[in-house]
Structure formats: structure tokens, C-alpha cells
């Protein structure tokens, strides 16, 4: 095993792992909050009711709900840590990591639903909008799920 591979496998202390995890959550939240704000503003524009069908407005509501769930999941580790600030444990790291990872699914689907709506308004055809949204969902799947798993498998093998 090379020194680089050995260094990659060294474990962080629980405090360092918790700090990294909470920092990851803090990094993601502002982007989610900005997106949430844009989603809310869209509802109050004149074109919202004119350009979107009732079904498409429900799709937008679904996207807002999914983003809200993602925000709650990302913020949960900080809330958990605030309630037990001195109790950093492997269990806290495991639960918090799972909460952060769980936030990725509703975030990706919510984003893709809104991208579908934007593409439908811009292009005008549902088929193109669905294609764009499905393509982006595949991109999220590859970058957020498949690539990390492949990277983890390769680091274990080296």
C-alpha cells in the first residue's frame, strides 16, 4: 500500500469528522435557501398562472415541498448537535451522514421538477422538457451516487 493510499484510509477523530460533516451541511444550506426563495417568488409572478397548467402548478408545489424536506434533512445534524453538543459519537456521525445523504434525493427530484417547468415554458413542448429533466436527474445520479461509490470501491482496492 502506498503512503498516499494509507493516508487516505486514516480515520478522522470524532470531533474532526463531526466538524467536517457540519461544515458540509452549512455549505449546502445557503444554496438550498436561495433556490427556495426563487421557488416562492415564482408563485407570485403574473406568468405563473398564465403559463402553467393546474397540473404544472402542482408539480411546482411538489418541488417546493421536496426542497423543504431536503433543507430539513440537511439542517437536522446541526439541530441534533446543538441538543447534545458535547456528545460527538460514531452514532452521531452515522445518523448525520445518513441525513445529509437522504437530503440529496428530494433535492435532485425537486430541482428536476422545476427544471422541467422552466424547460416547458422556454421550449413550449413537454417532450423536450421531460428529456431535459430526465437528463439532469441522470447527471445527479451519476455525480452524487455512482461516482462516490466507484471512488470508494477504487480506494478500498488500492
Does residue 2 lie in a domain region?
no
Q: How far apart are CA 145 and CA 62, in angstroms?
A: 23
Does residue 110 lie in a domain region?
yes
Does residue 6 lie in a domain region?
no
**What domain range includes position 84?**
12-157
Q: How far apart are CA 70 and CA 35, in angstroms?
A: 12
Does residue 24 lie in a domain region?
yes
Does residue 5 lie in a domain region?
no
The DSSP 8-state label assigned to residue 144 in this structure reads I
What tens digit of pLDDT does each residue of 47-106 get? 888 888 899 999 999 999 999 999 999 888 888 777 776 567 788 788 888 888 899 999
Supply the pTM of this predicted model: 0.78
Distances, alpha carbon 12 to alpha carbons 22, 31, 78, 131, 144, in Å:
14, 27, 19, 42, 22
What tens digit of pLDDT does each residue of 14-50 get? 667 667 667 776 677 778 888 888 888 888 888 888 8
Query: Among the listed ranges 8-22, 119-133, 140-154, which one has the minimum average pLDDT value?
Result: 8-22
Does residue 48 lie in a domain region?
yes
Does residue 7 lie in a domain region?
no
Q: Are 73 and 101 in contact (CB under 8 A)?
A: no
pLDDT confidence of 115, banded at 50, 70, 90? very high
* Number of domain units in the chain: 1
Amino acid at each position: 500500500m502506498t503512503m498516499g493510499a494509507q493516508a487516505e484510509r486514516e480515520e478522522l477523530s470524532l470531533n474532526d469528522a463531526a466538524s467536517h460533516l457540519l461544515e458540509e451541511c452549512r455549505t449546502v444550506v445557503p444554496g438550498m435557501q436561495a433556490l427556495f426563495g426563487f421557488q416562492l417568488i415564482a408563485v407570485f409572478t403574473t406568468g405563473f398562472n398564465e403559463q402553467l397548467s393546474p397540473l404544472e402548478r402542482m408539480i411546482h408545489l411538489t418541488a417546493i415541498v421536496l426542497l423543504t424536506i431536503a433543507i430539513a434533512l440537511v439542517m437536522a445534524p446541526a439541530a441534533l448537535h446543538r441538543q447534545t453538543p458535547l456528545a460527538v459519537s460514531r452514532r452521531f456521525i452515522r445518523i448525520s451522514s445518513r441525513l445529509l445523504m437522504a437530503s440529496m434525493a428530494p433535492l435532485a427530484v425537486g430541482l428536476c421538477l422545476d427544471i422541467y417547468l422552466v424547460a416547458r415554458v422556454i421550449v413550449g413542448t413537454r417532450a423536450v422538457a421531460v428529456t431535459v429533466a430526465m437528463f439532469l436527474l441522470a447527471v445527479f445520479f451519476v455525480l452524487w451516487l455512482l461516482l462516490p461509490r466507484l471512488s470508494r470501491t477504487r480506494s478500498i482496492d488500492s
